[in-house]
Amino acid sequence: MIEEGSKSSKSMVEKRQLFMEMRAQNFDVIRLSTYRTACKLRFVQKRCNLHLVDVWNMIEAFRDNGLSTLDHNAEINVSRLETILSSIFYQLNKRLPTTHQINVEQSIGLLLNFIVATYDSEGHGKLTVFAMKAMLATMCGGKILDKLRYIFSQISDSNGVMVYAKFDQFLREVLKLPTAVFEGPSFGYTEHSVRTCFPQQKKILLNTFLDVLMADPPPQYLVWLPLMHRLANVENVFHPVECSYCRSESMMGFRYRCQQCHGYQLCQSCFWRGHASGPHSNQHQMKEHSSWKSPAKKLSHAISKSLGCMPIGEPPHPVFPEAAERPQDLAHTTTLESPSRLDEEHRLIARYAARLAAEASNSTQCPPTDLSFNFDANKQQRQLIAELENKNREILQEIQRLRLEHEQASQPTPEKAQQNPTLLAELRLLRHRKDELERRMSALQESRRELMVQLEGLMRLLKSQTGTSPHSSPSHSASCTMPMPIRSTSAGSTPTHTPQDCLAGVGDDVLDAFSQGVPRNLRNDLLVAADSITNTMSSLVKELHSVDDGLEEEEENMRNGREKVSSLKHSGKRQSTPSF
């Protein structure tokens, strides 16, 4: 019982907090109801951080929470309203820099209490979709032109013509805002509100709607709406002029100049409170200035205007096509504020949380007062949403980190070598050395094959000498030509044949000489020469495997082998023994 009493007292304090803070601002000293109402609503807008939410972000939030598909007269409970506000402010914090983050929980609590007090004063625990859209679209930040265009899309038919009944419903809902800040007697809803805005029965299109609501002055019931936007635009405007009443040397915000008293100017605080001094009276006509122009600028402006160099008056808004505009719920567009997948995940989480909250609220039947003001029951849901979003953010960051590590690890070897010039130089040197050794290996193997072919020619010469007479002249036998193969090696190609493949194409006589026994001395000499060549090639292969630098010595041995074969050839030519 004590806990329930403390919760109810806390709920009542939260309900009254915004109104108590507004009373502390002492807005009631402002004598004009229009400025008083605009200042109060501007205070509520800034205190709830609604001025940081653009109208397009608000429309996107309506779409993300499924409100664009609901009928205007459909009702939503306070629990779902709190979920929608949570998604709006959590998305806002994601768009803001870390140094300008807002207190989301406090903003949700203040705005929820204000909406409930404005649209559910009887404590039913429900409000219509159209009422929530009208309130949030009016109180959020952004340009008044964009707001009015969105409102017109909600109150017009498929042909782009305003429906009077829907506009009447809009006035009924939006005029509850001045009533909520205790300005109902001046701007409360009446049955004649629609006729005062559009006195003539005619077809109202978008341009006509904008002409009426953005006129100067606007309709009496909505005169506070454009003033609230002007207040937002002049909050930081500086006027280097002295106030004629309070003698302040500078002004911030609006500046008011009397049209009868020469040089008499008031700051917005003195004008709003009705202060006057000297011959000036509150009945004098005052002109409101929202910017400061130096005398030189005023003179150039007057000259340009007199010479016709600038238009006399500018239209209050651009002219839009008369064709019907589709409702601007942005269902067919992608969000511009969330280009990354991280924000898309957060929107999905908020959407699922809203659906779960709606299902939970529909399944539980609680008294309307508990639904309206017991916000502790939904605090766990908001905490769960925040935890899920933080966890999702950590997972996505970890995925991104692993992806970057994988990309760095999968970089090609040359890119890594470029980071180490010493390693790159060693790789190039090893490749060059390998190519050089392969070319030498191929050349030496081809030289061995040439020697074998020369041996074959020598064997044929010896056979031909065997068939001649003993008195045959050696010079006659020496006229036999020996085939000399043409070397055709491709530099840089990798040899794919073994040393035994070098005997391909050699005649049977040479093969027999290397495979059979040797009955004659000359054949023994040839075998010795062939063994010398084979030993030389074997040592060459060993040196190639050990990557040694002694290839030049092996080439010298090959040249010595060739000289031996040449000497054997000459000795064979001189040999004429018939017994061979």
Tens of pLDDT along 35-52?
999 999 999 999 999 999
Instruction: Count how many residues are written for the chain.
Output: 580
Per-residue tokens: 127: 């409000």
Contact assessment for residue 503 and residue 511, using Cβ atoms and an 8 Å cutoff: yes
- Measured over the CA atoms of residue 367, residue 368, residue 374 and residue 379, the dihedral's sign is positive
More confident site: 141 or 320? 141
Which phi and psi (to 5°) does residue 76 adopt?
Answer: -125, 150
For 220, the token pair is 């009496």
End-to-end Cα, the chain, rounded Å: 134
What's the pLDDT tens digit per position in 516-543?
444 445 556 666 666 766 776 666 666 6
Cα angle 498, 503, 509 (rounded to 5 degrees) comes to: 155
Tell me how far apart the alpha carbons of residues 153 and 163 are, in angstroms, rounded to a whole number: 10
Q: Which residues contact 127 (CB under 8 A, 6 or more apart)?
A: 75, 76, 81, 115, 119, 120
Nearest Cα residue to 544 out of 435, 447, 450: 435
Continuous segment of H or E residues that includes residue 288: strand 286-289
> What percentage of residues in the chain have a pLDDT greater than 70?
62
156 DSSP β-pair partners: 162
Q: Tell which residue, 115, 129, 141, 171, has the closest CA to residue 49.
A: 141
Separation of alpha carbons 81 and 128, rounded Å: 10
Assess whether pLDDT exceeds 80 at residue 83: yes
Instruction: Indicate the pTM of the whole model.
Output: 0.54
Contacts of 36 (CB under 8 A, 6+ apart): 27, 28, 30, 183
* Highest mean pLDDT (candidates 40-44, 196-200, 450-454): 40-44
pLDDT one-digit tens code per residue, 87-106:
999 999 999 999 999 999 99
Residue closest to 358 by CA, chosen among 74, 14, 120, 136 = 74
Beta strands 286-289 and 255-258 are antiparallel
Where are the alpha helices (H) located in 74-163, listed in sequence order? 78-95, 104-119, 129-139, 144-155
Letter string b/e over residues 22-36, b meaning 16 or more CB atoms within 10 A of that residue's CB:
beeeebeebeeebbb
> Residue 131: which region, alpha, beta or left (left: phi > 0; alpha: psi -120 to 50)?
alpha
Q: 384: Cβ–Cβ under 8 A, 6 or more apart, which residues?
A: 353
Which residue would you say has higher pLDDT here, 493 or 146?
A: 146
pLDDT at 309 over 80: no
What does the alpha-carbon distance between residue 241 and residue 293 come to, in Å, rounded to a whole number?
11
Helices within 278-420 (DSSP H only):
295-306, 341-363, 368-373, 376-409, 413-419
> What's the average model confidence in pLDDT over 112-131?
91
Contact 285, 259 (CB under 8 A): yes
Name which residue leads in pLDDT, 111 or 418: 111
Report d(CA 68, CA 62) in Å as an integer: 6
- 237 has pLDDT over 60: yes
Residue whose token pair is 């055709």: 488
pLDDT at 371: 42
Query: What is the C-alpha separation between 343 and 338, in angstroms, rounded?
Result: 5
Distance CA 204, CA 189 (A): 21
Q: At residue 315, what is the residue type?
A: P
In this predicted structure, what is the pLDDT of residue 346? 67
Largest CA distance in the chain: 160
User: Can you state the percent helix, strand and coil of the chain, rounding each to 5?
Assistant: 60, 5, 35
Amino acid at 457: G
> Would you say residue 32 has pLDDT above 50?
yes
Q: Provide the mean pLDDT of the chain.
A: 76
Nearest residue to 128 via CA among 58, 193, 73 = 73
Nearest to 78 by CA among 39, 37, 111: 111
- What 3-state DSSP class applies to 208? helix
User: Quick one: pLDDT at residue 458?
Assistant: 81
pLDDT average, residue stretch 152-158: 93
Q: Strands 286-289 and 126-128: what pairing?
A: unpaired
**Residues 350, 86: contact at Cβ < 8 Å?**
yes
pLDDT band at 372 (very low <50, low <70, confident <90, very high): very low
Locus of tokens 């008195």: 471
CA 419 to each of CA 45, 401, 413, 424: distance values in angstroms, whole numbers, following the listed order: 57, 22, 10, 9
**Bridge partners, 267 (sequence order):** 255
Q: What is the DSSP letter of 479?
A: T
Task: Answer with the residue of higher pLDDT: 166 or 469.
Answer: 166
